[in-house]
Amino acid sequence: MTTALAADPARSRGRRHPEPEGATRGPRDAFQRDRDRIVHAIAFRRLRHKTQVFVAPDGDHFRVRLTHSLEVAQIGRTIARALGLNEDLTEALCLAHDIGHPPFGHAGEDALRQVTALAGGFDHNGHTLRVLTRLDSPYPRFPGLNLTWETLEGLAKHNGPIARPDWALAEADADFPLALAEWPGLEAQVAAVADDIAYDNHDIDDGLRAGLLDLGALLTVPLVARTWAGVRARFPDVTEHRLHRELVRDLIGVMVSDVIAATRARIADAGVRDGDEARRLGHALSGFSDELAGEERVLKQFMYANLYHSPRQLAVAAAVHGLVRRLFAAYAADPTLLPPAWREALPAADPYRTRHIADFVAGMTDRYAISRHRELVGPVDLPDGF
């Protein structure tokens, strides 16, 4: 059941481009329509073949950017429901939060940031707004998906206020002001912490599955050790390997329960009565308790040292970083290599020319980028299995 704190679709600040009344294609409110537009977007489908942690994994059981987004949405809806927030808006934000990621995750992003440095750079969060307001345009009357203000606002600043937006975010804000200096609504705050919970835990699962994480080393993290002790107490006769996913489930449960309790306490202490008051408060209400936030930081430090920055992962990141740079250079040197629609829309001068080429490369999936590199530049050498 929703409460007064929930964003009300009937009181939405609207869409950038007015739409005719009655053109809803079914009994859906504004936030439900946003969620559905995201699910049906080409950019959302492409997340199926974009890196989460492992690049173009051979194994079918590793997460990709799409399955990550689905897991974030499941966790986000659970928290939103417990807090009486708008579940549909929360789900829309969770599903779309990574839609601006280029191929190969953060390695691809770093490469695009470097090659576009003189044109303003590249940031996946700003690019998410660019995709949703300009690039993915399935409707005949307007560019982009024409999402509500609340969805675009939450995506722009789900990690907090933005004092110095990058050019893409500033462009979206100039066209449809998103109050970037304020905190976002509660649904966006929930989406942000759901993202942390999801990737903390599914990266543990994938790291153990890939053999890049060792359970013994992982148990040096107090939060994990305490949770593992509870798992072993319930299942003393089950082999360790069969309990890996039970550990992950319990960790998610611990984190979700903590966020719900801590957020309820902060809301009560602050005395906020609606989402707008939450925006003006000047700090986040939804998140971990101080104690669990400290423990979660220790877990993240372990994951960076032992998974994200492991020698094998760094070697793969370096390889795909070079791949994206070379692919961008090929299109920049000879724009006739672009598909016809992209070639015809190519601006004549920078920074718009460089940004246009970066838009095209950023939209690629891992496998399409690898295929185009082989065709235009040369062989791609990546370690087997990842």
Per-residue pLDDT of the chain (386 residues; tens, 9 = 90+): 678 899 999 999 999 999 887 666 788 999 999 999 999 999 999 999 998 777 765 667 888 999 999 999 999 999 999 999 999 999 999 999 999 999 999 999 999 999 999 999 999 999 999 999 999 999 999 999 999 999 999 999 989 999 999 999 999 999 999 999 999 999 999 999 999 999 999 999 999 998 899 999 999 999 999 999 999 999 999 999 999 999 999 999 999 999 999 999 999 999 998 888 998 998 999 999 999 999 999 999 999 999 999 888 888 899 999 999 999 999 999 999 999 999 999 999 999 999 999 999 999 999 999 999 999 999 988 766 55
Residue 260: give the domain boundaries. 186-310
Of 201, 102, 96, the closest CA to residue 148 belongs to 96
Number of Cα atoms under 13 Å in the Cβ half of residue 246: 16
DSSP string for 256-319: HHHHHHHHHHHHHHHT--SHHHHHHTSS--SS--HHHHHHHHHHHHHHIIIIITSHHHHHHHHH
In a domain, 246, yes or no: yes
In a domain, 144, yes or no: no
Can you tell me the distance from the alpha carbon of 331 to that of 347, in angstroms, rounded to the nearest whole number? 13
In a domain, 210, yes or no: yes
User: Total domain count for the chain?
Assistant: 1
In a domain, 267, yes or no: yes
In a domain, 95, yes or no: no
In a domain, 198, yes or no: yes
pTM above 0.85, yes or no: yes
Can you tell me the distance from the alpha carbon of 310 to that of 314, in angstroms, rounded to the nearest whole number? 6
In a domain, 201, yes or no: yes
For residue 184, give both structure tokens: 């976002």
Q: In this structure, are residues 100 and 281 in contact, taking their beta carbons and an 8 Å threshold?
A: no
Measuring CA to CA, how many Å separate 78 from each of 155, 188, 349? 19, 14, 48
In a domain, 262, yes or no: yes
With H, G, I as helix, E, B as strand and everything else as coil, classify residue 148.
strand
